[in-house]
Structure formats: C-alpha cells, structure tokens
Structure 1
C-alpha cells in the first residue's frame, strides 16, 4: 500500500532512505572541511542506518538512529543542512523559473495580440470612447476596468477655446489617415518604450495625445467626432498625399474635455507549441510564427527581427491563391477551413472581406513556394500580411492559438 495507507514500517524505511541520501551529500561535499572525528561520526551513523535497513529493523529503532543522524548533520552540514529559509526560497524560485521557461519554450507560450490585423476574430488594443464627461467612469469604475481589461485612461483638455480640428492626409480614394510621430516614453511609468504621438488642434493651439506604439488612434477619433464612419470625410478636391486640418464641428471652452477614451488591452492567448511537431498545420488554422526570416517584412518594418505574428493559414506549399473581392480563392475554389473565410466572403459580423493589396491585385495569383506557408489577416483592410511580404518559412512556424485567457470579457475561452 502507498500514500496515506502505507504501513508505519514502510514509511519509516522511506524516511531513513531520504536521510541517508542527505548524509551522503553532506559527506561528499564537506569531507575536506570536516574534522576527522566529525567525519568518522557521520560515517558511523550512516553505516548504522544502512545495517538497520538491511536487517529490516523495526520502526522505533530506525527512528532513534535517524534522530542521532539528524543531530550530527545539524552540527556538520554547513549550508547543506540545516538549510536557511532564504536558500530554500532561492531554490524554489529557480526551479519554478526553469519549469516555466521549459513549458513556455516547448509546450504553451503566452502571446499578446498587439494590433487588429486579425479583428474581429482576435482583438488587439482598442479604444473605449466616452462622448460626454458624465459618461467617464469614476475611480471604482476605472479600477474595475483595469482589472478586467487592463484599461489605460486617456483624457485631453482644451488649452484654449475654439473648434477641435484633426490633421488628415489622403492616402487613396478609399482611405485617409492621421499622421503621427514616434517618440520615446515610459511604459507603466518605468520601462522605456516607443510611443505614438498624435497632434490635434483647438483653434490654432496644438494638443498632443500619446498612445502605445501599436495603438491606432484613428478609430477613436472617428467615433469621437465623425459618428463612427469608416474613414475621414475629406473634401474630394484634396489630392492624394495632401492633407488638411479637418473641422470636427466640436466647439470647446478652455478647460473643456477635448477627448476621453480608455485603451483596452488586446487578447492574451496561450499558444499550443506541441501539435505542429507531429501534424502539419491545416488551412484555416490560427497561425503563430516568427518573423526572423522574412526579409521583405523587415524592409517594410525596420526594428527587431525576432518577433511573433499571428495570422490565419490560407495556403500550403504549392497552393495558388487569388482574391476576387471580397472572396479569397484557393486552387480555383472559394477557400474553406474556417468560419472567418465564409464571414469575410459575405462581409458579415464586421468581417470586411479580402481586399486587393500588396502583390494581389485584380486578376493576380500567388503560388506558395515549397517549404513555406501563406498567412493572411482576417481584417484584410488593415493587415500587413503575406500579400505584402510573401511566405513564412516552415521552420519558423511556432504554433496555433489555444485559448484566450485574458481579458475577462465575452471573448474569454477557446480561440476561434
């Protein structure tokens, strides 16, 4: 019998064996610093316990011998025995760190969605807009939002009286954008990091808004000032590449609230790093990969090469892909394998459909090279993906998303 049902004799024999292992460790590591008498005493007591184990001595005799051995170890064990609590804590945290790193490297890796290239399947950082100052949460509400969604509040007040205006530049017939610059700042007031700095205007006075480098303020501005339209309503006379200070119609007095929103964290996932060691990725899988060996991507996005991206697998080696807006075709047929494909094709539930961008214009096809996979974002309108930089080397595939474990919203649970 084992565990709580083991006999007293068996438990004591196991206890004696454990003490012998410790005694042998002390003898091995400290024999050169122990006096001859202490070393002989330690060896004699070990010999006694070994003989009792061999002769199957009763539990009470073993207990007395263990107590004598423990006294000798306490006297001669140095830092090996008795252990100080600080040493035990260090050992515990080192072992825990090794286990966690091992799990992360080979089994389940945490991953945070930074952008909205996979929206609405996965959410990157988003903004919760408060149109009126009365709508803004108080201290308790802010604390709740921080715990459940790691909300970071941003509040901007008017330095002068006047109309709020937004600088907007025309990109093409379909899209305009708000310029920004990258500045150095602090994350959580401590860690150095890059930030985006946008500039709004009240009358002719600049007002700066700083957000994380992966956060796009445009959606917040559209929801705050332009009734949530899809792009900024520039006059048709503005040529491509040119911009204006776009009036918002919002008049403020000095000290009034210009902009109020919370930055909500993106989805936090656990990524399964095991499965793809045994089976090939399937079309339609969520697809996490390293970007180390995608040179066209690094030419477009200078910075650290070793990053992880998440997209959806749309092509295996030898597949031919074509976009016929809004449908993605694989080997001449509408692509299948994920609900996101069908929803994009029908442009339902906020899926925008696949768009002509990058290397995939009208009538253009793309064949996936051998040894590579092709990955597209579900949010085709706002995804830097294989249309721009080609395939992902098979060796750089990291895994597939398993569950969304944070934030605590209706999105929590199994990954789509």
Structure 2
C-alpha cells in the first residue's frame, strides 16, 4: 500500500510541476480567466496529497481532458516553442555583441603585417590557388581579372553587390565589373586612367576582403589598456587637416603607443617613452616585449618612422606628451598609416576595445590577434601598400 501511495504522489508532483511550467511559459498569452481555472486545478491537486492512491490516480486520469478544454492545443506548438527559443538566443547573441564582443573589418594596410586590410594580390604573388568558391570562403579572396576587349573611354556605371561590393563601368560598348568599392578598384585596376586600348590588362589577380576580427569591448574597463595593445577606437571629434576623421572612417584600429602623461619621441626608427614623473626616456621595447617584432626587420616589420608631412613627431627632436584621459596610437605599418603623428591624441571615451580574435579568413593570422611571430624573411619594401588610415 505504501509503495502505491508513493508512486501516486510522485505522479501528482510531476503533473503539478507541468501545469506550473505551462502557466509560467505562456504567462503573457493566457487570459486571466484561463489562469484562474488552472489555479483551481492546482489547488485541487494540492488537496489530494493526503488522499488515497485510488483518488489521486482517478484525478490524474480525468484531468488531462479537462486541461485540454481549458487550454486547447494550438497548431505547430513545438514550432512555436522553438521559435521562442531561437528568438531568445538571438537576443542573447546581440546582447553579447553589444556588451562584450563586436565584429570589425580591417579596411586598410596601416596595421600590416600584424593585420591585413582590403588589398589586391597579383597572380604572381599568390602562393596558394583554390577553386572558387573556396578561395573566397577559406582565403577571403575574390577573383579580379579584366582585359579590355574594345578601345574606348571609361564610363563609370555604378556600384553595388549584396554583402560583397562590386564596381561597374563601361569601356567602349563593353561592360565590366570588378570586386571592391570604386576607390579600391581605381587603386588596383583603373589607376587614374580614362582611356584604354584593346588588349590592355586592367588586372589579373584577386582582391582580399581583409581580416575580420572580434573586438573585446569589456575587459579594458577593469584591467585598463597597456602599451602595445592593438586597439579599436571611434573617431568622433578627432580631426586632421581641417577634416573630421569620421568622414574617412568611423572606426580606426592602431597599436597603443603612449599612456596618459607619456612623452613620446621617435628616433632611429624606434619609439622612446618617458613616463610621467620620470627623468629618462626608454625604448618602448622595455615596456612591452610585443614591440620587439616591430623592430625585427622581418616579415614586413620596419619599425616606427618620423614623418615630415605629419603634425607631430616630424623629426627626431620632436616630442609629444599625451594628455590626461587620452592615448597615443600608431600603425605597425607606419610608412603608410594615418595615426597619432597626424591627428594627435585619442580620448579615453573614444575607445571601443582591444582586438581579440581574427575569425576570417583562415590565413596565418587566424586566431588570437598579435600572437604570431614575424615571418623569418627580411623586410625589403616598406611601400607594398600605399593606402592610409
């Protein structure tokens, strides 16, 4: 008798938990009248806990039909539940994006070779050739090939493309399209020309989509930023040459060079730092070993340069002292980087976060940002890419 009673009570407990779950799950769509009737069922179930197993089992046999009348089953109920679950998952994902991680695309070459922006790769320099669409999905490469079939004047006809941009133009009566925005196509194919002869090769290679990465928006609020961090910031209120940087691009990515109070100098292609309150300046490699690869002379790294056309650090005698609540940023490819030497400090409030993880393409740089040693080949050409940001 005791065994049958325990079994009946267990089934009754499962039943009441099911009803409460249903009421909680559908709380926003159940009417007050339906909720009241379900409460009555729960009260009746509670009152049976001291009753005989026969009465409990009779209640459990009769009540499902009663529940069906109170809350009729709806079509595609399982589908509706999955849709609700997916909706919550998307909300959580977007919450994570807003609070913790933000995707970011490298637009230019200013951080090469640590990170690569959108750039043209000729067929003579690409080492691994995959069939489409694998060259795009794996390497982030889009075929860029065009030969003029009829002489004539260049006539731009527009741009477009879903997710991946394309530029359209005519030469003579023939139409062409090449991957990339119009300025990038002009850089690697058109090259400022307006008239073409039959047989002219505009390009024969690939356009790289640039590194895509996640930015850690969270941790720097607790640990602070340090010299050497690859950092994303917005350009609100920052200007150079009378132009707001936000007109060129809202987000920039650079390496943090100077903290508040630091006095910065560049000499012999090396950054020197004198922290606030100290008398002597030291090579920046003394503050973070991550800088050593930038001065290695390998794999495309060539150190940091003075720039006679810049606003600050134009020569080895020039210095810049970082104001409070601000930072000083430079690109690793300082020969072709529009950075703190031109626009000065970056306010703390403009910081988005640290570059965290390259998620696409699947190149040598895939994975944790700035974790790779330079390629063991000497740097020979500082001017492989001439776009600045």
Give me the TM-score of the superposition, normalised by structure 1. 0.68
CA RMSD of aligned residues (A): 4.5
**In the alignment, which residue of structure 1 is the partner of 2:284?**
335
Shift of 1:147: 1.6
**In the alignment, which residue of structure 2 is the partner of 1:290?**
234
2:15 is the alignment partner of 1:19: no
Shift of 1:32: 5.4
**In the alignment, which residue of structure 2 is the partner of 1:150?**
140
Aligned pairs for 1:232-311 within 5 A: 254=198, 257-296=201-240, 299-301=243-245, 303=247, 307-311=250-254
Larger mean Cα displacement after TM superposition, 14-23 or 95-104:
14-23
**In the alignment, which residue of structure 1 is the partner of 2:302?**
352
1:278-336 Cα offsets, whole Å, 9 max, x none, are: 1111111111222224244992445387x332211100001011112411111122212
**In the alignment, which residue of structure 2 is the partner of 1:186?**
160
Shift of 1:149: 2.0
Specify whether residues 206 and 214 from structure 1 end up closer, same or farther in structure 2 by C-alpha distance, changes over 3 A only: closer
Shift of 1:136: 11
The total of aligned residue pairs comes to 348
Local SS of the residue matching 2:85: helix
Return the alpha-carbon distance in structure 1 between the equivalents of residues 160 and 67 of structure 2. Answer: 52
**In the alignment, which residue of structure 2 is the partner of 1:84?**
77
2:46 is the alignment partner of 1:46: no
Larger mean Cα displacement after TM superposition, 111-120 or 293-302:
293-302
Specify whether residues 274 and 28 from structure 1 end up closer, same or farther in structure 2 by C-alpha distance, changes over 3 A only: closer
Aligned pairs for 1:123-202 within 5 A: 123-131=116-124, 141-160=131-150, 185-188=159-162
**In the alignment, which residue of structure 1 is the partner of 2:321?**
367
Specify whether residues 22 and 50 from structure 1 end up closer, same or farther in structure 2 by C-alpha distance, changes over 3 A only: farther
Give me the TM-score of the superposition, normalised by structure 2. 0.72
2:359 is the alignment partner of 1:409: no
Specify whether residues 24 and 386 from structure 1 end up closer, same or farther in structure 2 by C-alpha distance, changes over 3 A only: closer
Contact 1:106 1:274 (C-alpha < 8 Å) held by counterparts: yes
Contact 2:101 2:214 (C-alpha < 8 Å) held by counterparts: yes
Local SS of the residue matching 1:142: coil
Return the alpha-carbon distance in structure 2 between the equivalents of residues 215 and 287 of structure 1. Answer: 25
Contact 2:331 2:339 (C-alpha < 8 Å) held by counterparts: yes
Return the alpha-carbon distance in structure 1 between the equivalents of residues 254 and 155 of structure 2. Answer: 27
2:256 is the alignment partner of 1:313: yes
Return the alpha-carbon distance in structure 2 between the equivalents of residues 415 and 369 of structure 1. Answer: 28
Return the alpha-carbon distance in structure 1 between the equivalents of residues 247 and 158 of structure 2. Answer: 15
Gaps in structure 1 of 5+ consecutive residues:
1-6, 163-179, 222-231, 233-243, 246-251
Return the alpha-carbon distance in structure 1 between the equivalents of residues 294 and 369 of structure 2. Answer: 18
The structure 2 residue matched to 1:398, chosen from 352, 363, 373, is: 352
Return the alpha-carbon distance in structure 1 between the equivalents of residues 257 and 155 of structure 2. Answer: 34
Shift of 1:99: 0.4
Gaps in structure 2 of 5+ consecutive residues:
1-6, 275-280, 371-389
Shift of 1:210: 6.0
Contact 2:238 2:245 (C-alpha < 8 Å) held by counterparts: no
Specify whether residues 157 and 334 from structure 1 end up closer, same or farther in structure 2 by C-alpha distance, changes over 3 A only: same
**In the alignment, which residue of structure 2 is the partner of 1:212?**
181
Shift of 1:90: 3.5
Shift of 1:142: 1.8
Shift of 1:113: 1.5
Specify whether residues 311 and 65 from structure 1 end up closer, same or farther in structure 2 by C-alpha distance, changes over 3 A only: farther
